[in-house]
Amino acid sequence: MPTPLLEVRDLTVAFDTPRGQIRPVQNVSLSVYPGQTLAVVGESGCGKSVTALSILRLIPSPPGRVLGGQVLFNGKDLLQLSEKQMQSVRGKDIAMIFQEPMTSLNPVFTVGEQIVEAVQLHQNVGTRQAYEIAEQAMQDVGIADPHKRIHEYPHRLSGGMRQRVMIAMALSCRPKLLIADEPTTALDVTIQAQILELLRKLQEEKQMAVMLITHDLGVVAENADAVAVMYASKVVEYAAVNDLFDSPKHPYTEGLFRAMPRLGRPGGRLQTIAGAVPNPRRFPSGCKFHPRCPRMNGDALCTQKEPELREIATRHWASCHHIENFAAAPITPPTSDAIRKDAEAPA
C-alpha cells in the first residue's frame, strides 16, 4: 500500500454554543491516496462538510474548535502549522470547491481577476503571466473562448460555467489534493455529467487526489475509489467502492441503498429508514443509529455501548454490534431478468 497523501486521524471537532457544546465530528479517521478519490457520503448534518472544513482549518473559531486528532498531509500535521504556513497550504497544496457556484464567486470582480488573484497569491508571477495561466486554466476546464470570457463578471455565466470557473481557480495552482464539497448538487443532470467527467479527466492528467463530499450514491459509484459513510458525526462504514456496493455491512448503508428509487425499477413501495437524522444536540446514547435501526431487538448493547469501527473483511470497516448476526442480503444491481422476476414474484 502506498502512503496516503492525506491522513485524518481520530479527528473530533466541537462547537461551543450558548446552549451547550455540540460535537458534529467525532473520532473521524480517513485516508486519501495520491491520484485516488475518496467519497464521503452522508445526509445533512452528519458532519461531512465540517470534516472537510476542519482539514483546511476553515472552521470559524470561536465557536468551533478541534478537540483532538491529527490531519497529516504528506506526513505533516496541518493542525500544528501557524496561520501563515496554513495560508500557503490552502489553495496551493489543497484546494477546495463548494456546492454553491452562485455565492462562491465575488460579483464585483471579473472571473479573470479572481483566478489571477489566486494564482499570484501562490506563484511568483507577473500580472500578464498570471492572466496567461488563468486563461489556460479556463481552457482546461472546457470554457469556450476563454480569451473573451476571462473579462466577464460572474452574473453573466450560467451555474455550470461558474462551477467550471471555480474548478479552474482551484486547479490553477496545481494542488495535490482537491476537496470537492457537493460540487454538482446545485447543477442539472446533464451539466453534472459534464462537470464530473471534467473532474475525472483532470484528475487523471494531473494525478491529483480528490476528496468528494456528496449525498448522491450514484455520483459515488461512478467516481470514487473508496467510500466513507458518515452518520451522526461518525464514520460508520469505510471500504473500497466495489466492496461497499456489493455487500454493505452497516444497517444504515444498507437502508440508504434500499430507500433510493432506481432507474429501471419502477413502482412499489420504497423501503425506508424510519425516523429522522438525529439533532447533534441530542445524539442518542449507545449506537447513534439504534433508534432507527431495523436490527434493534431491545438489546441493551446497542442502546448503551457505542460500537467501534472494526475491520469486518479485508479493508472493509463498519461499526455495528450485530454484523455477524446479519449476513447482509446482497443488493445486486437490477438486471432486466431480475426486474422481470421482481414483477412476477408475489409481494
| Contacts to other proteins by CB under 8 A | 43-44, 144-145, 158-161, 188-194, 196-197, 215-222, 224, 241-242, 245, 255-257, 259-274, 276-277, 292, 333, 336
Shortest spacing between CB 269 and other proteins, in angstroms: 5
Shortest spacing between CB 261 and other proteins, in angstroms: 4
Residues 223 and 39: beta-carbon distance below 8 Å: yes
Shortest spacing between CB 257 and other proteins, in angstroms: 7
Helix %, strand %, coil % for the chain, to 5?
Answer: 35, 20, 40
Shortest spacing between CB 280 and other proteins, in angstroms: 13
Question: What cell was used for 315?
Answer: 479493508
> What is the pairing mode between strands 20-32 and 76-77?
unpaired
In the complex with other proteins, the residue whose CB is nearer, 68 or 264, is 264
Q: Angle at CA 243, nearest 5°, toward 238 and 245? A: 95
User: 126: Cβ–Cβ under 8 A, 6 or more apart, which residues?
Assistant: none
HSE-up of 236 (CA within 13 Å, CB side)? 28
**Measured distance CA(15)–CA(61) in Å, rounded:** 9
In the complex with other proteins, the residue whose CB is nearer, 260 or 301, is 260
- The closest of 57, 98, 96 to 210, measured between CA atoms, is 96
In the complex with other proteins, the residue whose CB is nearer, 128 or 269, is 269
Residue matched to cell numbers 465575488? 106
Shortest spacing between CB 270 and other proteins, in angstroms: 4
In the complex with other proteins, the residue whose CB is nearer, 122 or 292, is 292
Shortest spacing between CB 337 and other proteins, in angstroms: 12
In the complex with other proteins, the residue whose CB is nearer, 197 or 205, is 197
In the complex with other proteins, the residue whose CB is nearer, 75 or 261, is 261
Shortest spacing between CB 23 and other proteins, in angstroms: 20
What is the separation, in whole angstroms, between the first and last Cα of the chain? Answer: 46
Helix (H, G, I), strand (E, B) or coil at 110: coil
**Measured distance CA(270)–CA(260) in Å, rounded:** 7
In the complex with other proteins, the residue whose CB is nearer, 109 or 257, is 257
Shortest spacing between CB 125 and other proteins, in angstroms: 27
Residue 323 CA: distances (Å) to CA of 103, 165, 248, 249, 295: 43, 45, 10, 6, 9
Question: What cell was used for 105?
Answer: 464567486
In the complex with other proteins, the residue whose CB is nearer, 115 or 219, is 219
> What is the pairing mode between strands 37-41 and 226-231?
parallel
